[in-house]
Amino acid sequence: MAYDADSTLDLSCYKSIVDLIEQSCAKFGNKTAYACLGKNITFTEVEQLSRDFAAYLQNCTNLKPGDRIAVQLPNITQFVIAAYGIIRSGFVIVNTNPLYTERELIHQYNDSGAKALVVLSDLLPTLENVVKSTTIEYVISTHALDMIAPQDQPQTAINNIEFNTLLSQGREHIFTPVKPNQTDLIALQYTGGTTGLSKGAMLTHRNLLANSGQVKSRIASTMTEGEDIFVAPLPIYHIYAFMVNLVLYFESGGCSVLIPNPRDIAGLINTMKAYPFTGFAGLNTLFIGLCHQPEFKALDFSHMTITISGGTALTSAAANLWQQTTGCMISEGYGLSETSPVVSLNAPGHQRLGTIGKPVLDTKIKILDMNDNEVEIGTAGELAVSGPQVMSGYWNKPQETANVMTQDGYFKTGDIAIATEDGYHTIVDRKKDMIIVSGFNVYPNEVEDVLSGHELIMECAVVGVANDHSGEAVKAVIVLKDPDQDSEAAKESIKQYCRTQLTAYKVPRIIEFTAQLPKSTVGKILRRELRK
């Protein structure tokens, strides 16, 4: 059967995300909306600066409403100003990873047809070869510290305008308000491209309004309007943090503390010391990394009411360690770029460890077999979802869109899940990551969860590798807590432990140790790198 939330989402409060931005700025005025690198910016300042940005785009360029503008920035205040300015002037934002290679950038810019780019000035030299191979006509550059004090920028052949200069020029022009419909496109959110070239998920104003309302209804008990301080270490060019920090907490008058470089664990902890933070969003690897730092353990967690996990599977070891360290139980959720992103989320106070919780409001989930038929409850199958947060399709790819939609309008996620009688769901694994050993299915998440419970292991990842005898064999790549640990003794201890926890064909045949696992910029472990 399909599971459905028992309430109905009300989307009548706002006509669009533009409406949400402007109402929130008026309502919360001089409250701090964002904090970054020691500088705070109020809701009133966000309104004025994003208005200046929008006025420049409207009056000083040849761009037309609906044109795409790429934003290639880390978590800095300029991202927020640019994003809101783009949205308020009727353009479409193309969120772009600052660490993309030239090949990836050229593909994304050309695929989206982006005509303008907002980029970190440090990246200008790299872009010299990129811009001339794309449709980009305007380049807006900024140094990370420009909002604190204008900085010198590298000289390149690119004809760019500096961010602060743009704001000054925009301030001299009249901003013409736009009034988009909920069905209008607001963002192209590109998928990770793990199975090929990335695709642009077309997200509308309604998608983001719906998902913000859906998540708010699930975590409302942890939120206090105008008072929350939410730490944002995950990149806001990723839809997970974009929705949480630029829509959800902005709409409720919260302050988002932007962390430009979450890989700098010491810097992240030092920033957190300065705030009585109430919320935190992270993922498995970040939770583990923080909890092993004595300085993090010494932080004041007394105001913390919510921790959200998403983007990758949460292991029980990481969840337990976080709760022991902070006193806050993690609410694990699940979603994708194509779903704006949240599909399902554990309600605070009702978390069920090892699950992604229940579907959020107005969301239906089916578990399907290979022929798109529903399976019995308790049987693994592909998770498919229907709801107001589901994208309108892939940009300029009607066949790709058709391939992921069922005849009755459900989006097929490519994730393997199991449903329980009372409506919770567990993600077993990505379809493409499943390992087949002598005809038996092995889900890496299950093996990783077991491995993470071993006392010697800090982090781990499991992949399938070719094997002449069984077709595939299970390979575990492990980061030990003590790098000086005797490797042979560790291997034997780990294998013996696995034999007590797993059926024989699931036990890793190959164990390798490494100093660190390859990860994406959002902290996902890159299993494909481990198969090489």
Q: How far is CA 209 from CA 180, 204, 248, 362, in A?
A: 13, 9, 9, 13
Two tokens, residue 528: 């494909």
378 with 187: CB under 8 angstroms?
Answer: no
**Is 453 found in the same domain as 305?**
no
Q: What is the CATH number of the domain that holds 415?
A: 3.40.50.12780
When mean pLDDT is compared over 5-19, 156-170, 194-208, 422-436, the highest value belongs to: 156-170
Report if residue 315 sits inside a domain: yes
Residues 297-354 have pLDDT tens digits of: 999 999 999 999 987 778 898 999 999 999 999 999 999 999 999 999 999 999 999 9
pLDDT at 197: 67
pLDDT at 8: 80
pLDDT at 194: 40
pLDDT at 23: 98
Residues 6+ apart with CB under 8 A from 251: 20, 24, 212, 216
Report if residue 188 sits inside a domain: no
pLDDT at 7: 62
Q: Residue 440: pLDDT band by 50, 70, 90 thresholds?
A: confident
Q: Which residue, 128, 148, 180, sits at the end of a domain?
A: 180
Q: Which residue, 125, 149, 180, sits at the end of a domain?
A: 180
Report if residue 343 sits inside a domain: yes
Instruction: Give the C-alpha separation, 125 to 154, whole Å.
Output: 8
Across all residues in the chain, what is the average pLDDT? 93
**Is 521 found in the same domain as 440?**
yes
Residue 27, SS3 per DSSP: helix
Report if residue 235 sits inside a domain: yes
Q: What is the CATH number of the domain that holds 507?
A: 3.30.300.30
**Is 420 found in the same domain as 338?**
yes
Peptide bond into 341 cis (omega under 30): yes
Nearest-CA neighbor of 94 among 80, 104, 83, 81? 83
Report if residue 192 sits inside a domain: no
pLDDT at 95: 97
**Is 152 found in the same domain as 289?**
no
Count of structural domains, the chain: 3
The pTM assigned to this predicted structure is 0.86
With a cut of 80, say whether residue 363 has pLDDT above it: yes
99 with 119: CB under 8 angstroms?
Answer: no
**Is 520 found in the same domain as 383?**
no
pLDDT at 521: 74
With a cut of 80, say whether residue 490 has pLDDT above it: yes
**Is 206 found in the same domain as 174?**
no
Q: Residue 4: pLDDT band by 50, 70, 90 thresholds?
A: very low
Provide mean pLDDT across the span 462-474. Answer: 86
Report if residue 23 sits inside a domain: no
Q: Residue 6: pLDDT band by 50, 70, 90 thresholds?
A: very low
Report if residue 459 sits inside a domain: yes
Instruction: Give the C-alpha separation, 247 to 258, whole Å.
Output: 14
361 with 395: CB under 8 angstroms?
Answer: no
Q: What is the CATH number of the domain that holds 87?
A: 3.40.50.980
Q: Residue 157: pLDDT band by 50, 70, 90 thresholds?
A: confident
**Which residues sit opposite 364 in a β-bridge?**
4, 386
With a cut of 60, say whether residue 1 has pLDDT above it: no
Q: Which residue, 399, 431, 463, sits at the end of a domain?
A: 431
**Is 441 found in the same domain as 320?**
no
**Is 209 found in the same domain as 123?**
no
The helix or strand, by DSSP H or E, that contains position 165, with its residue range, turns out to be: helix 163-171
Report if residue 233 sits inside a domain: yes
Type of residue numbered 246: L
Residues 59-88 have pLDDT tens digits of: 999 999 999 999 999 999 999 999 999 999
Nearest-CA neighbor of 417 among 363, 380, 376? 380
**Is 415 found in the same domain as 266?**
yes
Q: Map 260-307 to HEC letters.
A: CCCCCHHHHHHHHCCCCCCEEEECHHHHHHHHCCHHHHCCCCCCCCEE
Q: How far is CA 394 from CA 198, 272, 401, in A?
A: 10, 38, 6
With a cut of 70, say whether residue 434 has pLDDT above it: yes
For residue 474, the enclosing domain spans: 434-530
At 87, phi and psi to the nearest 5? -65, -45
**Is 314 found in the same domain as 239?**
yes
- In the numeric block, the tokens 């302050």 are attached to 255
**Is 154 found in the same domain as 98?**
yes
**Is 257 found in the same domain as 230?**
yes
Provide mean pLDDT across the span 113-121. Answer: 98
